[in-house]
Amino acid sequence: MLSLGQSGGLALFWKEDIDVRFRSKSHHHIDVMVDSASPSLPTWRFTGFYGHPSQTERFRSWSLLRELSDEHSLPWVVMGDFNELLHAHEKVGGWRRTERQMQGFHDALSYGDLFDIGYLGMSFTWKDSETKCRLDRVVASATWTDLFSVARVTHLPPSRSDHIPLLLGVYASNPPACSFHHRFRFESFWIQDDGCGSVVQHEASTLQSAHLQSILEGLLQQESDYWKQRAKVIWLTNGDRNTKYFHRKAPNRRAKNMIKGLFDSDGVWQDSDIGLENIVLNYFDNMFRAGTLHPEQLNEVTNLIKPSITQEMNIDLCSPYSEEEIHLALSKCILLSLQGLTDASSIFSTILDYSWTLYSFGSSKLSSHRSVVEGK
């Protein structure tokens, strides 16, 4: 679609090996159906969208989005310049955007069961001399994100345009990346198994931690509790305790927390292992590297600092920890961040007993190791 003056204009290109079927078009959208190359994936729908640049005419854009939603129930993803914000913090500078002005966009997305799938990179997609805001985005239905659970949107470096380009990576599974070793975590529902206590006590007596971990990881039988802890949300007290919501919440949370790429000091996007490693190393190297030090100036500053730790306090802080201190520290640990967990006290008591069993058995060995370290 050709532009109207200096605004608008839509174009859609695709490779020859991708099966795309045209559905409809206007000055504000292009709608197509995409047949997946994999026979295990169904046909899905892609819409390129351009919101009306005029505030007084923008309601027509939301009406168009509703009409497109009613036309088909395929998994759906919409990408483009919506010319509107979803949240006030998506704008810096200029006049403040009110909730009332953004409500039409919210209502249109809610009507079509669409939600923002997030992004990687810089926070804003458009700017002028005084204002920066996020006008461009990708929204999708839950059925589309279920198909492409690791799809990701990247805000690419700016070009000559006042908008930055967006890259949507459509992945049904994780793209090739570096592998991560997940650290061991104790799951609260393991203690519901009758054999958990005997396993912990037996392994504590032999100190075979690797064997203990493999046995405990095999007790993944309480699926509802597993997803409850992973979801990190308030658990439903009534109704279905094993819903799709919690199963979708856990992988979405992991994907959100994963650092997939960073901009280096030259503004170039780096997503390779070596590129990420260099960025992190350079950042902390510059942060903690000391400049030119002048001992006399350093002494002048440190002499002005009045010590707040007395000699008696310092002796107490440096003294070896006691069993009472360890027991007190364990008893004050926060077991879970979940709310509404009715058996939290019993879970805590059991874990405390197991932890104290492990400590009591190994305390003599720790004492001998400490004697070696201290040269006794």
Please write the tens of the pLDDT for every residue from 295-310: 888 888 888 888 888 8
Cα angle, residue 228 at apex, residues 216 and 179 outer, rounded to 5° = 60
Q: How many CB atoms are closer than 10 A to CB 138? A: 20
pLDDT score at 285: 85
pLDDT tens, 157-198?
Answer: 887 888 999 999 887 666 555 555 566 676 777 777 777 777
CB 133 within 8 A of CB 124: yes
User: Is residue 64 pLDDT above 80, yes or no?
Assistant: yes
pLDDT score at 376: 46
Helix (H) or strand (E) holding 19: strand 19-26
Q: Which two tokens stand for residue 124?
A: 């804003």
Distance CA 130, CA 2 (A): 29
Distance CA 66, CA 110 (A): 10
User: Is residue 28 pLDDT above 80, yes or no?
Assistant: yes
Identify the CA nearest to 219 among candidates 242, 182, 251, 188.
188
Kindly report the CATH number that applies to the domain delimited by 19-169.
Answer: 3.60.10.10
Residue with tokens 């047949």: 35
User: Is residue 140 pLDDT above 50, yes or no?
Assistant: yes
pLDDT score at 74: 92
User: Is residue 237 pLDDT above 50, yes or no?
Assistant: no
Average of per-residue pLDDT values in the chain: 76
Identify the weakest region by mean pLDDT among 107-121, 153-167, 201-215. Answer: 201-215
User: Is residue 85 pLDDT above 90, yes or no?
Assistant: yes
User: Is residue 99 pLDDT above 90, yes or no?
Assistant: no
Average pLDDT over residues 327-350: 56
Q: How many CB atoms are closer than 10 A to CB 368? A: 11
Q: How many CB atoms are closer than 10 A to CB 31? A: 20
